Structure 1
Amino acid sequence: MLFSSRLKTLGRSNSPSRVRVWLQFTSSISSLKVAWRKDVNLDQAIENDKQWRLCARVLKEVLNEPGQVIPLRYLEKRRERMRLPTTIKAFLAKNPGLFDTYLDRIKPKTEPVPFICASHRLQRFLDEEKRINLENEPLIVAKLCKLLMMSKDKVVSADKLVHVKREFGFPSDFMESLVPKYPEYFRIVGGPGEGKSFLELVSWKPEFAKSVIEQRAEEESRLTGIRARPSFDVKLPPGFFLKKEMREWVRDWMELPYISPYDDASELDQASREMEKRTVGVFHELLSLSLFKRIPVPILGKFCEDYRFSNAFSTAFTRHSGIFYLSLKGGIQTAVLREAYKDDKLVDRDPLIEIKDRFVELLAEGHRERAEQLRLRREVVQKDMEMMALRNHERDFQECGEQLQKVEDLDSW
């Protein structure tokens, strides 16, 4: 009866296309399709980070070893897992200054083999990383609280959080070094073992329960003196057009009240447009909290149960192409927050990105040294070639002189 009366009302006050849009809401939001369109600038933003991320994977592999050393041949066997396109020896030659190589025995009475360990230069970077993390500890704690506050039960698997530590800029050992320092915020529950340990929120922090969108609306209200409504910043890329029905759908959807990702969503129907509004809000907040305002979709998929995402959650990124971009760069789907970038550069940089900047400087220093070494080698080779050419020229001149002398001797005879 309610459905029939609603349909009659729509029939009187709206066009047939609006009725069809509303019917789509009642059937399946995930059935609404928007064509994917490549964004060259946002793909380039991911490509820009390719080299240092590759080096970071190798670094992580070495630092996770006991004593932070590993036989070179063992590391070579892990190339496929690290997605390293070159041999370890070639990688070390291209990135000098990261590691030192030395000979040692794997077992007593065996022949010494090459090992690698962190160089002195890399150790200085690791010390700098600790300093930056310590200076930004309040930010890291706030991020961790927010991740728990958005979750369904205010508790998330410790393994999942460890898996996304680099996406949000958490220190490698944050579960051991950071969490115990804040018992007023966090509690570890469960037992040891994979999937059995969980991080639980101890107390709700109202100051953390404001999304980026809500903070932006409050700031706008403060500056203008006019109450601003929290809303998404929608900006379709150049040349991107939505079909008429989809434009109407987006317009109606945008008119729905904003639902904070920190609000209780337990009463919302999973297939409702209100739940879609809340889910997009959660995605927006998660991407906003991440270091580079982008997260691989498979990583987000690990949190479906924690944040009540549907199984088809990734379609929201193309359905809301004015808010997100779904990159396919590198053979993996990555959700990118559109408003966070201008061309291929981040607009608002997370303070923890300073760690990445220091690492890139370390790599650049090694690359400059390698370029200088190659230049000196080329100069030596060039000089050798010039000396050889000079000697050959002198020999040819001498041979010509000898031939000329023979001719003159024959003439005189």
Structure 2
Amino acid sequence: MVRWLLSAIKGKYGFSHGFKGGGFSYEQRFSLVNVKLKWAKDGALDSVVAGERDLKAACILVSIISSVPRCCLPVYHLSRCRGQLGLPHDLKISTFMRRYPTVFDEFHLLDSGGTSVPWFRLTTDVLNLHHEELSLVQQYQGDTLDRLRKLLMLTKDRTLPLQTVDQLRWDMGLPYDYHHSLIPYFPELFILVRLPDDRVGVRLQSWDDNLAVSQLEKNAAFQQRNESIRDGTLAFPIGFTRGFGLKRKCIEWLEEWQRLPYTSPYSDASNLDPRTDVSEKRIVGVFHELLHLTILKKTERQNVSNLRKPLALPQKFTKVFERHPGIFYISKKSDTQTVVLREAYDRNQLMKKHPLADIRERYSRMMRKGLLDRSKGLYKQHTGASGTHDLLSNVGGRYNSGFKSEGESDNDLLSEYESDDETHTSH
């Protein structure tokens, strides 16, 4: 991947600007070229996304199963959590779990009607890894709290519905049960509130100026680009797929766009005209910062599509992903669109790894090994009824489930999806 930086260029900018009330006052004197750069496939970044769906689903299931005594659950119980997993609708959870015998061990029990019901428990290896993960989460709890606080500080009211935070939970490395295991233990930082639409939200109790510094500003300070910080013309790191052709007109447009004032995503931008390129640069800055708050510097596009109101963004705000393919790469792997921050990767390697990224890689290796071993016939499905009474006693005796087979649940925590397309104007 060719990596290059369009730095701020001195001279006449075509506009005047200055600091005023913590933001920029400016006057556009001309319109920049309205261009749309083409999308080009990036195999290296696609490989970063490939397999993410299964990894996320497996880790969520591990969290759910590990939270109950004996670390085992019947499949019908797991089906109630289907909406959180992001799996294809035509894929049964039991089928998915059987793919990864190094993670999930299947056994069958008889219900009160004598019907054999599949149960799943965690293997010893994955239990050990999960305990390591929990220890690491506790160790880096301060970092997790800071990133959640910064997420809320990006919003105009320092508030987000829990449903929206849930959609970003995996990417931000929040504990699975963060609303029970994290938020209540820091009342000086967070409070759960009832929103006008009757949903529950989390609100940040107070603003912290020390946290209200974007990663782009930190990088500029580290690189001692003090002049760019003073005049507000910070430029974003740009990189393109190897062989990506860029016309001269596009280069000139990018250079002009990079010289526009940079508005911190943590500052009040209500004075910006949403029809201007300065506003667009602010939107790019918001998502540049949001992706920096994630563990792997990426998230599914649908996860940010319902952030328009909380982030005070204009309609069609995610169009910036297409207009700036040198900053964001949109991967179309796994039947979805995933936005990846280019600068965070050297080909398919994360340049600065969060400790949780290593844990996830170990989960991924364990899952791949299970797939390979199963293809060699090293695993057999435990479907016999022998030992049933012993197993029942180990998990608390017989039960009356009321379920005869794996089914769907309407308890879909990810059902909210508010697009910023022009056809959806509910915002």
TM-score where L is the length of structure 2: 0.71
Residue 133 of structure 1: how far off its partner (Å): 0.6
Asked if structure 2 preserves the Cα contact closer than 8 Å seen for 1:69 and 1:118, the reply is: yes
**1:284 is matched with which residue: 281, 285, 288?**
288
Would you say the 8 A contact 1:187–1:201 is kept in 2?
Answer: yes
Match of 1:210, as an amino acid? V
Greater relative CO (CA pairs within 8 A, separation 6+) = 2
- Give 2:221's aligned residue: 218
C-alpha distance in 2 between matches for 1:57 and 1:122: 13
The change in CA–CA distance for 1:183 and 1:274 in structure 2 (over 3 A counts) is same
- Contact kept, 8 Å, 1:58 with 1:82, in 2: the verdict is no
Tell me the CA shift for residue 132 of structure 1.
Answer: 1.0
Corresponding residue for residue 334 of structure 2: 330
Change in 2 beyond 3 A, CA 1:208/1:373: same
**Contact in 2 for aligned 1:259/1:281 (Cα 8 Å):** yes
Deviations for 1:276-320, whole angstroms, at most 9, x for unmatched residues? 111110110111111111111111101111112333222211211
**CA 1:151 to 1:83, structure 2 compared with 1: closer, same or farther past 3 Å?**
same
What are the within-5 Å matches in structure 2 for residues 120-269 of structure 1? 120-190=124-194, 196-221=199-224, 227=227, 229=229, 230-269=234-273
Match for 2:101 among 78, 96, 114?
96
Residues 106 and 118 in structure 2, CA contact (< 8 A), matched pair in contact too? yes
Deviations 1:38-78 (CA, angstroms, capped at 9, x unpaired): 11211122125455345336546756889864434776896
Q: Does 1:47 align with 2:57?
A: no
Kept after mapping to 1: 8 A contact 2:264/2:285: yes
Q: Tell me the distance in 2 between the aligned counterparts of 1:74 and 1:96.
A: 19
Deviation at 1:210, TM superposition (A): 0.9
**Structure 1 residue identity aligned to 2:252:** E
Aligned CA distance change for structure 1 residues 162 and 182 (closer, same or farther; 3 Å): same
What is the CA RMSD across the aligned residues, in angstroms? 3.5
- Whether 1:320 aligns to 2:328 is no
SS in 1 for 2:223: helix
Distance in 2 between the 1:319 and 1:24 partners? 16
Task: Determine the C-alpha separation between the residues in 2 that align with 1:90 and 1:197.
Answer: 34
Match of 2:359 in 1: 355
- Equivalent pair of 2:299/2:339 in contact (CA under 8 Å): yes
Q: What is the alpha-carbon distance in structure 2 between the residues aligned to residue 171 and residue 89 of structure 1?
A: 24
Q: 2:344 corresponds to which letter in structure 1?
A: A
Give the 3-state SS of the residue equivalent to 1:314 in structure 2: helix
- When residues 358 and 43 of structure 1 are mapped into structure 2, their CA distance, relative to the original with a 3 A threshold, is closer
Q: Does the C-alpha gap of structure 1 residues 84 and 97 become closer, same or farther in structure 2, counting only changes over 3 Å?
A: farther
Letter in 2 for 1:102: F
Please tell me whether Structure 1 or Structure 2 has the larger radius of gyration of its CA atoms.
Answer: 1
> Is 2:304 aligned against 1:300?
yes
What does residue 71 of structure 1 align with? 74
Deviations 1:163-204 (A, max 9, x none): 21001110011111111222222121117x985211111111
Could you say if the C-alpha distance between residues 326 and 102 of structure 1 is closer, same or farther in structure 2, counting changes exceeding 3 Å?
closer
Structure 1 unpaired stretches of 5+: 1-8, 11-20, 376-413
**For each residue in 1:234-291, what CA deviation from the matched residue of structure 2 results, as whole angstroms up to 9, or x when unmatched?**
2233332344443332211111122111111122222222211111101101111111
Of the structure 1 ranges 234-243 and 151-160, higher mean CA displacement relative to structure 2 is found in 234-243
Higher strand residue share: 2
Contact 1:54 1:84 in 2 (8 A): no
Compared with structure 1, are the counterparts of its residues 57 and 204 closer, same or farther at alpha carbon in structure 2 (3 Å cutoff)?
A: closer
Contact 1:159 1:195 in 2 (8 A): no
1: CA distance between counterparts of 2:203 and 2:74? 39
1:95-151 alpha-carbon deviations (Å, 9 max, x no partner): 223223333344x34434332233343332332221111001011000001001111
Bigger helix fraction: 1
User: What is the percent sequence identity of the aligned residues?
Assistant: 29
- 1:115 pairs with one of 101, 113, 119: 119
Where does residue 313 of structure 2 map in the other structure? Answer: 309
**Partner Cα distance (1:84, 1:98) in 2:** 22
Cα distance, 1:351 vs. partner?
2.4
The count of corresponding residues between Structure 1 and Structure 2 is: 349
SS at match of 1:264: coil
Residue ranges of structure 2 left out of the alignment (5+ in a row): 1-12, 15-27, 380-427
Q: Aligned in 2, Cα 1:74/1:332: closer, same or farther, shift over 3 Å?
A: same
Alpha carbons 1:295, 1:335 under 8 Å: kept = yes
Deviations 1:370-405 (A, max 9, x none): 577649xxxxxxxxxxxxxxxxxxxxxxxxxxxxxx
